[in-house]
Amino acid sequence: MRQEGAHWALRSAQPEDVEAVAELRATVMRPDLERLGRFDEHRVRQRPRDSFSLQYSWIVEVDGAFAGCVTLRPADRGLWLEHFYLSP
**pTM assigned to the model:** 0.85
Are 72 and 80 a contacting pair, CB within 8 Å?
yes
Note the pLDDT of residue 3.
Answer: 58
Sheet holding 78-86, edge to edge: 8-12, 57-62, 65-75, 78-86
Residue among 45, 88, 83 nearest 67 (CA): 88
Note the pLDDT of residue 40.
Answer: 93
Distance CA 50, CA 21 (A): 12
Distance CA 48, CA 70 (A): 11
Note the pLDDT of residue 25.
Answer: 94
Instruction: State the architecture of 8-86 in CATH terms.
Output: 3-Layer(aba) Sandwich (3.40)
Q: Which residues of the chain have pLDDT under 50?
A: none
